[in-house]
Structure 1
Amino acid sequence: MELPLVGLLAGSFAVSALARRLGISPPLLLVLVGLAVSFLPGVPDYALDPHLILTLVLPPLLYSAALDSSYLRLRANLRAIGMLAVGAVLLTTVAVGLAAWWLVPGLPLVSALVLGAVVAPPDAVAATSVGRRLGLPRKVMTILGGESLVNDATALTVYRVAVAVAAGAGYGIAEGVGVFVLAAAGGAAIGWALGWLVHRIRRLLRDGVLESALGLLVPFIGFTVAEEVHASGVLAVVLAGLYLGHRSPAAHPVARLQDRAVWQAADTVLEATVFALIGLQLRAVVTGVGPSVGALTAVGLFLVLVALAARVVFVFPTTYLRPLARRRPDWTPPPWTYPAVISWAGMRGVVSLAAAAGIPLTTLSGAPFPGRDEIVYLTFVVTVGTLLLHGLTLPAVIRRLGVQASDEAADALAEAQAQNDAGRAAVARLDSLDDGDPLHAATVAELRQRMEARTNAAWERLGGPVAGGGETPSAVYRRMRRAMLEAEREVFVRYRDARRIDDEVFRRVQHEMDLEEVTLLRE
């Protein structure tokens, strides 16, 4: 088992690196390569383990996305996000469920609703990677990212209720609604409490390495604790991540640097692996349905259209009609291109496949779970179909509609103003610390000069390029200082290789130079 796993990780990483080099959406290329590889001779059967995906892969991906999200922007767009994460998921569940019940002979309605819940939540990883590359407006990116943080909780809770009913647990409508509300409330409470506790522990530790290590445990603790008490593990992880991300300025600076690097690297490996796994499921799911594969493929493609239609039907009215009905005088309707892009960003992901694979083999009576193989195969067709449909066309749709961010100028102005005020505050603090000692005069002058350079750099970014194509003073400083750092690094490497300094000394000095160089790259 170890060799196939290493092959999966190495292969998915290589394809992802190639996609980034070519400027192609990595999720899309990974799925296509996975589909092609799945039938090659000698390729092992990569059976999807739902427990592994839902407990070891989903929590860190959700937590990393929540850490990187803006709590303030999410709160400002809470209505739109909530409508999509709950309302759109429920509508898609019903629409897909009814269509599957009508089209698949012998499929019970409750099993069809299980399928609807499984394929209801879009995965925004592919959409946001395209949107970030093409410069989607921040509001659209916030809504798509916020939806993907919460919609899994809605879908997985509905899925559990539907599976329990199909298995013979005897849930009624009222009990199902109660389970849904308690799971959501419990998950949110656990996530907030965990974030609050970890934040307090971090402030006591004041050790960057320990703080970062503690952060690695948070998503798994939050998800496991919530699931053990039958609450929403997804909401627990998301709320904990939002809480800690919003309060990250209170963390140790080493922890912030490490967290950013660690989670970006983890996201790259995990996302590459799960999208490759989607494509590699083809052989297994085709074997499960046998000779009915052709008819079910046609049904699955029709369900792709049903899911798309349900999203379009939901997004446009909720974007415009409800605010108009409430007659909000301060409401400015967004351009129609915004809901158009949001409607078209409906790719499904590995969570849908994991949920389908997690359907029990038998009911409580011991009978086979009705329609299980058909549900798994249709989930695969809808997942791959939406990834290919939207993944191949979303960039063209964004360009054709001309949906581009217009935040850069406003961001540059806001940053320059904030940096100006921050510089004044820093100089005032420096004045309060300056004791007038002539021995400290050079240090004080250097600190003033650095603060002035940071402030000037912010205003230079606002002003755009220098006339005649020349470099700004800040750009000259960055270029020269990076060249100086490179010369310093070469000397330290030479001393280390000649054993004139120890490796430990070299790493400490190199870390200090790296921190400065990262700052220069940012400025």
Structure 2
Amino acid sequence: MEYYHVILFLLAIAIGISAVAPKIKVPYPVLLMIVGIIVGFIPGFHYVPIDPDVVFLLFLPPLLYDATINMSFPDFRANFRTISMMAVMLVFISMTAIAVVARLFIPDISWPVAFVIGAILSPPDAVAATGITKSLNLSHRTNTILEGESLINDASALTAYRIALGVATGGIFSFWEAGFEFIAAIAGGCLIGAIMAIIFCYTVSKVKLENAAIISLNLMLPFVAYQFAEVLHVSGVLAVVFMGIVIAKRAHKNKILSDITRVQSKPVWSTIIYLLSGLIFILIGLEFPQILRGIPLTTVFSLMISAFAIFFIALIIRIAVIFRHKFRLDKIISIVNSDGYSEKVSPEHAERMRQVKPLTLKDAFIIGWAGMRGIVSVATAIALPVTLANGEDFPQRNSIIFLTFLVVILMLIIQGMGLPLLIKWMKVEVVEDDNPEIME
């Protein structure tokens, strides 16, 4: 009961801000975070600390599941090569680049700790992406790519984080062991997600349950799948995401949920996601003044410089990789449209490939710009251990947490507030009949 009244107060603020944000043309998550920072500086305010376990178990599963279950499976499948490239290759490139910048700008930091920072700050956040882009004038395919990337990249980033953290706390890095752990985490998470989805679909289709029971069971699923996967040391994120994909596919194909159940469950999920999303961003802002008070003033300026450098390099790397992807896709399309290609493949395959639509320069730039970090990075930083395996203090733990907050705030403010202006300046138009791209 210690934080009961504070949580109610913060929820009331979040609800009030949702009415103000559209009028002042500021993205809802950004405004929530700014208000949280202001409230956090009020003397004597009983702030609510962010508990990483609560974030990963209470907040993350339902937010991931809701975003996945509402995503079109055909669109996700058609864009999977693009999404997987961004969720895996781009994450590891960003992690390496951020680690190099951290090693250069932060004094006396080791390479393992630098890679821990890189893993913390490499994945764009699903909550931040959907919270800012859902009300903007983006094409359906752009939204699918951004949401799909942010759903999957947490798995690769958190796996990389565990490996880097193990080395930083006294372990020995082995490329083969790290690769096996990464593959096992992905495969295990997908397997658990598939099993949970099959059990749910079978139960709903074979057992006569009331609508309220089905909705309650559906609400429990992401929490159970995430926790089960984490207990087995595989990716809880992928377990939730893959489960949502399978359920969405089977629900659409086999109609396992009645129309009445769908209608009744939608407002339940909408309310839960609305409250959780609002609370998350205001808690990020609320935590910042507390972290700032624990940092020596002599290091604040250097950490701010480091945060700007990391923000800049992460943004540049992302845009560069996206544009490389676009030009590679353009090259594939030119080959497909050549006469020689049609002679080497079946007419059906040639026709399907000719329907591939390239990323426009506007799409590529917007996808590159809209890569904000958020609550996962913050929770991962706070979850850093206090001590190493030998009992010594974890090197510069408070500075890493403060740096993470700075980067997240910079990205949410600069990229989040800049995205609507960028869309308006580029005169982006929604094309409702976007053809999905198919990467080879």
TM-score in same-fold range (> 0.5): yes
Instruction: Give the deviation of 1:130 after TM superposition.
Output: 4.3
Aligned to 1:369: 394
- Map 1:167-182 to 2 at 5 A: 167-182=169-184
Unpaired segments ≥5 residues, structure 1:
411-523
* 1:263 alignment counterpart: 269
Residue of 220, 232, 235 corresponding to 2:235: 232
For residue 295 of structure 1, the aligned residue among 302, 307, 317 is 302
**Residue aligning to 1:360:** 385
From the CA coordinates, give the structure whose radius of gyration is larger.
1
Higher relative contact order, chain-length normalized (CA < 8 Å, sep 6+): 2
Instruction: Output one character per residue of 1:78-100: Cα deviation in whole Å (capped at 9) or x when no partner.
Output: 01101111111111100011100
Aligned to 2:431: 406
Conserved in 2, the CA contact under 8 Å of 1:28 and 1:126?
Answer: no
Give yes or no for contact 1:59–1:220 (8 Å, CA) kept in 2: yes
CA contact (8 A) 1:35 1:279 kept: yes
1:1-48, Cα deviation, whole Å (9 max, x unpaired): 222222222222322333256553210110111111111112123221
Question: Any idea what SS the aligned residue of 1:365 has?
Answer: coil
Letter in 2 for 1:106: D
Q: 1:334 aligned to 2:359?
A: yes
Deviation at 1:393, TM superposition (A): 0.8
1:197 aligns with 2:199: yes
- Match of 2:134, SS? helix
Secondary structure of the equivalent of 1:191?
A: helix
User: Aligned partners of 1:378 and 1:299: how far apart in 2?
Assistant: 8
Distance 2:303 2:328 in 1: 37
Alignment of 1:36-115 (within 5 A): 36-115=38-117
The answer for the alignment partner of 2:438 in structure 1 is none
For 2:342, the equivalent position in structure 1 comes to: none
CA 256–118 in structure 1, closer or farther in 2 if over 3 Å, else same: same
Q: How does 1:397-436 map to 2 (within 5 A)?
A: 397-407=422-432
Q: How many residues align?
A: 410
Percent identity of equivalent pairs: 34
How far does the alpha carbon of each residue in 1:43-84 deviate from its partner, in whole angstroms, 9 at most, with x for none? 123221100001110000000111101111000000110111
Task: Indicate the residue corresponding to 1:223 in structure 2.
Answer: 226
> What secondary structure, in the 3-state scheme, does the structure 1 residue paired with 2:49 have?
coil
- 2:137 and 2:116 map into 1 onto residues whose CA distance is 36
Structure 1 residues 119, 409: closer, same or farther in 2, change over 3 A?
Answer: closer
Inter-partner Cα distance in structure 2 for 1:188 and 1:296: 38
Q: Distance in 1 between matches of 2:313 and 2:236?
A: 29
- 1:378 equivalent to 2:381? Answer no
Instruction: Report the CA distance shift for 1:367/1:322 in structure 2 as closer, same or farther (over 3 A).
Output: farther
Query: Which one of the candidate residues 309, 312, 318 is aligned to 2:319?
Result: 312
Mapped to 1, the partners of 2:359 and 2:300 lie a distance apart of: 43
| Structure 2 match to 1:480 | none
Change (3 A) 1:132 1:283: closer
Q: Which runs of structure 1 show a deviation greater than 3 angstroms over 4 or more consecutive aligned residues?
A: 20-24, 124-132, 325-329
User: Is the Cα contact below 8 Å between 2:193 and 2:238 reproduced in 1?
Assistant: yes
- Looking at structure 1, the residues matched to 25 and 267 of structure 2 have their Cα atoms a distance apart, in angstroms, of 22
Distance 1:104 1:63 in 2: 37
Q: Structure 1, residues 359-385: CA drift from partner, whole Å, max 9, x if none?
A: 100111111112211211110011000
Q: Give, in whole Å, the separation in 2 of the partners of 1:260 and 1:197.
A: 21
Which stretch has the larger CA shift, 6-15 or 44-53? 6-15
Whether 1:31 aligns to 2:33 is yes
The reply to whether residue 277 of structure 1 matches residue 283 of structure 2 is yes
SS at match of 1:361: coil
Give the secondary-structure state (helix, strand or coil) at the position aligned to 1:281.
helix
* Cα distance in 2 for residues equivalent to 1:409 and 1:388: 30
Distance of 1:277 and 1:232 partners within structure 2: 25
Q: Which runs of 5+ in 2 are unaligned?
A: 338-353, 436-440
Q: Quick one: distance in 1 between partners of 2:121 and 2:434?
A: 39
C-alpha displacement at 1:325, in angstroms? 6.0
Q: 2:149 aligns with which of 144, 147, 150?
A: 147
Determine the C-alpha separation between the residues in 2 that align with 1:375 and 1:224.
Answer: 27
